[in-house]
Structure 1
Amino acid sequence: MSLREKADDLRKTIDNLLVVGVDMAVPILRVVNATADWCPPLKMATGGALSIFDEAKKFKEDKEQWIGFGEYVASATAKVVSAIKSYDMSVGEAGSWVEGVAELGSALQEIQSKIQQRLTKLEERSAVRNALSHYRDPGRIEGLKKDFDKALALFQLRTNLTIGVKLSTIEDSLDRLEGAIEVKVSTIEGSLDHMEGAIGVKLSTMEDSLDRLESDPILDNLRYPQIAHHDSTEACLEGTRVDLTERIMNWCRNTGDNENRLMLLTSVAGAGKTSIVHTIADRCNREAVLLLCFFFRAGEQPRPDCLFSGIARALASRDTDYRTFIISALRRDPTLSTAPFAMQFQELVASPLLHMRRYPSHPMVVIIDALDECDEEAYQPLAKILCENKAQKVQKHLRS
């Protein structure tokens, strides 16, 4: 098949897709990318647009905005490809669109590279830094869109596909216009670069501070429970205790102000309470609402000495405001890391949570198993902490 026949065949295929009358942007790009081996600029442009369309779906934060950008690039590039009357590169009029598509393809490849660099950086960074830096993504998306729109404008200036006037009759005017646009764009880009640099310095400073905060070794002084991990192999058998499990999970998910935040599961010895605990812990862990498990065990973990220090560490790993408060408290009084559990509850859990400016947007569940195996001396103080008035206020943030 000759080059002209291949070009005509591709033109017919695209025309048939356009007749379908629905959003055919991605199918058009895929067809061109798969068949246009004889035209590297077309292949590069469509390949770049498809890569951006696919990569944009990988973002977890600002997901809708990233997907919208990917769809915008795919749609606009498909319109560019569809507007070309003939894909035959041998005809005299092909020079302008070939050069225009090549420049558009280079711009798309550069945008794709920036997106891939962003994804790689998000994978390598800590969750805390990502929680901060994702607020810059709408600005990044807008910047990438401006880059793409600029490439589209230059393509239209070069080829004049949208109005159908021959390039030779307006070439001088376009040169002057393009020069004026480039001057304006250069001035705007200089201002934007300056602003982005200033913002970047501030964000970088904040991120560095968060890094230091996140890795502060003083948090390592807080003891963690020896037995704090649930075991899915000890959970209820599949299909058993379904109604009870669902009732408890519905309670775990409910963050209403009128809901009781403390649930006590009681029954005779050997009734399977621990199996239910492991089942609920496994479900909460999969739904990312489990904060901490604490298992009382006679002879192994009979006292709650590490219960509230463990809760404090778990909260510090989830919330930057809380982490800041805890670090400050430990610096003021380093003995808090080994203080009696009643004092740790007051200073490391109750006080920070009661001063929080906001409630968490999702539940945080603390599971305590085998309370009857708690050391007799510690049982009464612990029961008082869990039931007293201040604990009820704290439980607006936690469920246990």
Structure 2
Amino acid sequence: MLLTSSQISVAISSTVVTIFTFLLFLSGYVLQQQTVRSIQAVIHPKILPPAPTINPVFAKHFGRPPGHGFYEKYLASNRPKGGWAKVAYVQLVRQHIEVCGTITAFAQLEKEESMAQRIIMYPREWDAQPQDGAKLAPHVETSRRLLREAAKHYKVMLQPIEPNVQRTRSKITPEELYPLTNLLALHYYNRVLYLKPAGLILDPTPLDLLFTLPMDSPILGLSAPTSTSEHPPPSILLLQPSKSTYKELSSLLPEGAYPDTEILNLIHVESAPREKEFHTRLLAETSALDAENVAEFNATEFLEMTGYVHIEDPGVEGPEFDVPRPDFVRAMPSGKQARKAWESVYERYRDARRDVCALDLAPVDRPVDEGGGTGMAEELK
């Protein structure tokens, strides 16, 4: 029997309706099942196996050169007395030009995940508001900004301090106003570590090690041999703060004498050890790179296996300043590898100053006559 055209149309329409009805039912069913599984997951969450325990010391130094194995193993099984919450890196900044270098050092500690606390002591007068609606001086405003960023981003505790002496003389040095004895006032901590500015932390691991080692004296200074001094002053101070130590040290100082040199003369100073077996060094001086054994010195190894480099060279105001190129070249070591390491240290310091502090090198404006002004470099201090 032949179907008419109208019957064929009805049959096609019925088939289309049936197909779309089935697809609509199928999509609804799938959506319903997904909703049921989501509700079940909330009511009966899947229990995941516990994450494997990772030693933080080994984790943060994964991929380090082989020479760090000694420090890794030692720190994995040795903690400071009272734990890492009772030891701290502390910097005492007395001049505005020192602030950025301190911040970059603590930024490196944060990057390398050093577990010790971090403290910056600075003059309380920097927090004072200007009188009569005057604006803050640009260098004061910059220091305030950097200190706030250090507290926010690098877990730094800020400690404003009062001057130890009154400004009774026309010229009084920052060292007299804010002597290193202030470090002993941090009684909460069992041990604090002070790094002489300006410098560059290349690897905090050997520095962290100092928090765990025994001390024969409550104040220990560490120095590195330099090419300019047979007995250089310490670039690292390791202290056990206490009221009794502070009182004893203060009683030994001549009345009215507060400069660092007077205090450091009373401190037991040792040369920073170098573990040749592990090819590591705790402390280095840029001024001593020219005295290195040229045949053995390797710039790459120096930069990878050194804890702290103190940057101070004759004829160079400091790594913070844009020193004239001729003076910079004259201060360079003569050895090719030593010069490579020397230039890299200055370059890294400059890059950190730009990246962390958003600052260029400070201009050097030297006096041109005997009665000349102090220039921009002095103002920044």
TM category, shorter: under 0.3
* RCO comparison, higher one (Cα < 8 Å, 6+): 2
Q: If each structure's helix is expressed as a fraction of its own residues, which one has the higher value? A: 1
The alignment's TM-score, normalised by the length of structure 1, stands at 0.25
